[in-house]
Amino acid sequence: MAFFNTSAEDRYKKQIQEFLFDGETIEHVYGLAIDFVALTNKRLIFVDQSLLGKETGVVSIPYSRIDEIGIVKDKFWSMSDKIMITTKHDKHELKLLQGKDEALKFYNTLAKYIC
C-alpha cells in the first residue's frame, strides 16, 4: 500500500480519517517531502503547505476533476520524484518522499483511477 515505515503510514491514516466521507476508504498512502497524499476509493487527498503560505491546507480532488497527470523529467529525460496534477483551475506539484520509483508507482496507480 505504501512505501515508507508502518508507523508513518499509520500516523497518516489517522490524520486523514476526519476528512473521509461515509463509505469512503483509504486505498493507498504515499509520503511526500512535506506531508502525505492519500488515494481513496473516491478521490485524491493531500496536504498542501503552499496553499496558504505559512499554514497548511488539505486539498481534495475527485478523480473525475483531474484533467492531467505527469511525471516531471529533468533535462536529461530522467524521471524525477515529482508528480504534476492538473485540474481545470489549478496545477499541483507533489514531491514523493521515497524518490523516483515511488513517484512512478504513484503515477501508475493514480492513472488507473482517472483513466
- In words, the CATH class of domain 6-114 is mainly beta
Quickly count: other Cβ atoms within 10 Å of residue 64's Cβ: 10
Per-residue pLDDT of the chain (115 residues; tens, 9 = 90+): 444 556 888 888 888 899 999 999 999 999 887 788 999 999 999 987 665 567 778 899 999 999 999 998 877 666 788 999 999 999 999 998 887 888 899 999 999 999 8
Q: Residue 83 corresponds to which cell in the numbers above? A: 508528480
What cell does 19 get? 476528512
Residue 96 CA, chain-centre distance (Å), reads 8
DSSP state of 76: T
Q: Where are the domains of the chain?
A: 6-114
Q: Choose among 85, 78, 75: nearest CA to 39.
A: 85
Contacts of 91 (CB under 8 A, 6+ apart): 84, 85
For residues 45 and 109, the answer to whether their CB atoms sit within 8 Å is: no
Cα gap 97→67, rounded to integer Å: 24
What local confidence, expressed as pLDDT, does residue 107 receive?
94
Which cell numbers hold the place of 21?
A: 466521507
Q: Is 95 helix (H, G, I), strand (E, B) or coil?
A: strand
What pLDDT is recorded for position 53? 63
Sign of the torsion formed by the C-alpha atoms of 26, 27, 29 and 30:
negative
